[in-house]
Structure 1
């Protein structure tokens, strides 16, 4: 487990918490090793089901960045610019 907390909300269901944590775990993976684009996008789509609002997405991603140092937006942007089957790896 990482040494920081994931940005979660008390009113989310267990399934919603799992979807959000899985998304942020894939963001970490893109920084620490690599993640397959389709796998990442699957988790991003599940995250967007929980957090459809762009404003809330930005708030959660900012909280995650402040806690972890990882910028979720960079991975999402990389995924959207990549082709199917690509491995996502954020170069720091």
Structure 2
């Protein structure tokens, strides 16, 4: 990883950790796969920090620009997966 995660300087250390854990889960979706339950837990923590759709989209666009990984596509796949299986894109 040769890029910086998009974060807000207004977040607490705990909030930054939650968001970074979510970004790392998204990276794993693309690189080797991740269990739906793990991604869902990371997404829920992320949504506690970033509850608004507009802010989520903005961060998702910034993350995709630096990493090439789409939050939207990973979450869409997670939501469309019925069982707790491996999610990989």
Task: Tell me the residue number matched to 1:78.
Answer: 77
Task: Tell me the residue number matched to 1:27.
Answer: 26
Unaligned runs of 5+ in 1: none
TM-score (norm 2): 0.98
Q: Offset at 1:34?
A: 0.4
Q: Offset at 1:85?
A: 1.6
Task: Tell me the residue number matched to 1:57.
Answer: 56
Task: Tell me the residue number matched to 2:45.
Answer: 46
Instruction: Specify the SS of the correspondent of 2:15.
Output: helix
The RMSD of aligned alpha carbons is 0.6
Instruction: Specify the SS of the correspondent of 1:5.
Output: coil
Distance 1:43 1:83 in 2: 17
Distance 1:3 1:45 in 2: 26
Instruction: Specify the SS of the correspondent of 1:12.
Output: coil
Distance 1:65 1:15 in 2: 23
Task: Tell me the residue number matched to 2:14.
Answer: 15
Q: How many pairs align?
A: 89
Distance 2:42 2:83 in 1: 15
